[in-house]
Amino acid sequence: MDPVLWISLWSGMATPLGGLLILSLGERARRWLALCLGIAGGIMASVVGIDLLPAFRSGAWRGSLL
């Protein structure tokens, strides 16, 4: 199988596996919910910021904000 397909398969399985893990932990998982959501939000914000940096540097910042 092509390596790209394996990477896609593993990245696509991360969400259901994480959901099953949280469901199996039950009430103990609630304590970690805020921490996990904060980390995920920070990672997502940094990815968006890093993706916008080349547009800001090239001077096309108006188009990148829309």
Which sequence spans correspond to the domains of the chain?
Answer: 3-65
- Residues 23-56 have pLDDT tens digits of 887 777 777 777 878 888 999 999 888 887 777 7
pTM: 0.51
The answer to whether 29 and 22 are in contact (CB under 8 A) is yes
* Radius of gyration for the alpha carbons in the chain, expressed in angstroms and rounded: 18
Using the Cα atoms of residue 9, residue 11, residue 14 and residue 16 in order, give the sign of their dihedral: negative
The answer to whether 43 and 35 are in contact (CB under 8 A) is no
